[in-house]
Chains A and B, each alone.
Chain A
Amino acid sequence: MIKVEGVRVAYGRTLALDTVDLDLRPGVTGLFGPNGAGKTTLLRVLAGLLRPTAGRVRMPDMEIDASNETFRRRVGYVGHDSGLYPDLTVGENLHLFGHLHGSRPERTAEVLAAVGIEDRRDTRVAALSAGLKRRAAVARALVHEPDLLLLDEPYANVDDEAAEMLSGAIMSWRRPDRVCVVATHGAKRVKAYADAGIIIQRGQVISYRIRVPNEAPPLDTLAETSPLEKQADEPGPVGTQT
C-alpha cells in the first residue's frame, strides 16, 4: 500500500536513513530500534513532512508529500510533541483540527472517550501531564479517521491502563485498507497487536517481518534474533521481507 523506494535522508554529513526500501501493507506495523536509529526520520518522511534526500515514497494513487492537499486529508501524525496548542483546551484543539479536516462534530467526544480523557475536555493542554498529552495527541490524530496513521512513541509517559486504551483505540481504528506505523524503542506493547514489525538501526532496515495469519505476532520471534529489547548498538542481521 505504501512503497518506500531507496529513501535516503542526510542531515549535513549525518546519514539518518540509508537507502530504505519498504512495502508497507495495511494493518499496524511496529517500527523498532534504539534511540537515534532513524525511526522519527522515517515517520516524518512517511508523513510527507520531510523530503528525502534521495528516493521516493508513494501511496497507490499519489506521491506522499505534505504539500499535496489530497494526501493531507488521509494522514494522521503524532510526533515527539503533542502537536496541540497549549493555550487551548483539549476539546478546543480537537474541535479545531476536526473542523479543518471536515470531521463530524461528534468525533471529538468519540476519540476523547476512546483514549479515556473525556473528563479532560475542558482542560488546557498546557495543564496536562506528559502522559495525558500523549493521549490527547493520539486523539487529535484519530479525529478525522485517517487512512494512514503514524505514531511516534505514543506510549511514552503513559501508564499501563492508559496504554491499553491507546492500543484499543488503534485496534478499533484499524480497517482492511488502513495503514498504521507505530514507532517505539520498546516493543512490548506494540508486539501484542502489530501485523508486521520493522527493526531499524543506524538508518538501515535490518529486519522486516509480516505476521502470518493464525500465528503468533511476528515480533515474538523477531525479538529473539534481534537486539530489539536490549537496544544494543551492534548491527543486526540483514533483514528479509517475508
Chain B
Amino acid sequence: MNVTGVSAPTIARPRAPGFASKTVALMAKDLRIELRARDTLPPMLAFSLAVTLLLAFTLPSSTSPADPVDLPVGTVPLNDVLAGFLWITILFAGLVGFARTFEVERREGAIDSLLLVPVDRSALFIAKATSNLTFVVLVEVFLVPAFLLLFQVDVAADWWLLVAVLLLGNLGFVSVGTLFASLAARTTSRELMLPILALPVLVPLFIAGVELTSDVFATGGAESVTDKGWFVILLAFDAIIGIVAALVFEFALDG
C-alpha cells in the first residue's frame, strides 16, 4: 500500500488566532462567497427597488412631505407615510436576505464543519450579523437615493440624521434577523418561519425608525429627533437585542 500520507508535524504550532481574527475570517468568507455567487444581494436590491417604484405610483400627487394625505385610516402627513414606506421596504428586503444567511452552510453540509471549529459562537454571530449588515447597508445605498428622488423628499440639510437613524435601525434589525435566521435554518420552511419569528420582535424597532425618519423628512432638525423617546427606544433596542442575540445564538445553533 502506498503510504504517502501526512508527515508528522516538525514545526511548533503558531499562536492560535484570537476572537477578532476568527470573526474577521468568517465574515470575509461570507462576503467572498456573496461576491462570487451573488445569491443574496441581487434579490434584495431587485425587491427593494421594485417596491419603491410601485409605491411611487400609488401615492396621490403632493408638493411637500408635510402635506396631509387622506388615507382610509384618516388624514396623516405625507412624511409619515413615506417613512413607513421606506422602513417597510427595508424590512422585507432584509428578510429576503436574512432567509439566506445559512444557505451557504447548508449546501454541502458546511454547517457541521462550522459547528466543530473551536470558535466562540458569539464570533459566528458577529460575523453573520456583520455580513447581513453589509448587505442591508448596500441595499440602502441604492434604495434611499432612489426613494428620495422618486418621492421628491429633500433631506439635504439633515442627511446625516437620516443616515444615523438608518444605521441605528439596521443594527437592531440585523441582530434580530440573524438570530432568528439561525433558528429558522433548522426548519424545512425557513422562508416562512423567519418573518413569523422576527416580525413581532421587530415591531418596536420599526415604529421607532418610522417616527424618527418621519421627523427627518419633515426637516425638523436634530432636536426633533433626539428630543423624543423614540431615539432612546432605538438605542436601547440595539443594545439589549444585540447582547441578548449574541448570547442566545449559541443555543439557537446547538439546539
Chain A residues engaging chain B, CB cutoff 8 angstroms:
47-49, 51, 66-67, 69-70, 72-73, 75-77, 79-88, 92, 96-97, 99-106, 110-111, 113-114, 124-125, 133, 140, 142, 145, 164-165, 167-173, 192-193
Contact A173 B6 (CB under 8 A): yes
Chain B residues engaging chain A, CB cutoff 8 angstroms:
1-7, 9, 11, 13-17, 21-22, 25-26, 29, 32-33, 36-37, 104, 107-110, 112-113, 115-120, 250, 254-255
Contact A169 B29 (CB under 8 A): no
Binding site of B, secondary structure by majority: helix, strand, loop or mixed? loop
A70 to B9, CA, bound (A): 21
B residues less than 8 Å from A125 (CB atoms): 108
A residues less than 8 Å from B120 (CB atoms): 69
Contact A100 B112 (CB under 8 A): no
Contact A84 B110 (CB under 8 A): yes
Give the most central of B4, B15, B33, B119: most A CB within 10 Å.
Answer: B4
B111, closest chain A residue (CB) = A83
Contact A164 B108 (CB under 8 A): no
Contact A142 B104 (CB under 8 A): no
Contact B5 A168 (CB under 8 A): yes
Q: A132 → chain B, closest Cβ, in Å?
A: 13
Q: A176 → chain B, closest Cβ, in Å?
A: 12
Q: B117 → chain A, closest Cβ, in Å?
A: 4
A177 to B249, CA, bound (A): 34
Contact B22 A77 (CB under 8 A): no
> Which single member of A67, A79, A101, A170 contacts B250 (CB below 8 Å)?
A67
> Which single member of B2, B9, B13, B36 contacts A165 (CB below 8 Å)?
B2
A residues less than 8 Å from B37 (CB atoms): 87
Q: B241 → chain A, closest Cβ, in Å?
A: 23
> Which single member of A73, A88, A165 contacts B118 (CB below 8 Å)?
A73
Contact B16 A102 (CB under 8 A): yes
Contact A173 B118 (CB under 8 A): no
Given A106-B11, A142-B6, A165-B2, CB of A88 within 8 Å of CB of B250: no
A140 to B104, CA, bound (A): 17
Contact B104 A85 (CB under 8 A): yes
Contact B116 A47 (CB under 8 A): yes
A75, closest chain B residue (CB) = B116
> Which single member of B9, B108, B116 contacts A49 (CB below 8 Å)?
B116
Contact B112 A49 (CB under 8 A): yes
A residues less than 8 Å from B36 (CB atoms): 87, 124
A70, closest chain B residue (CB) = B118
A161 to B119, CA, bound (A): 36
Contact B113 A140 (CB under 8 A): yes
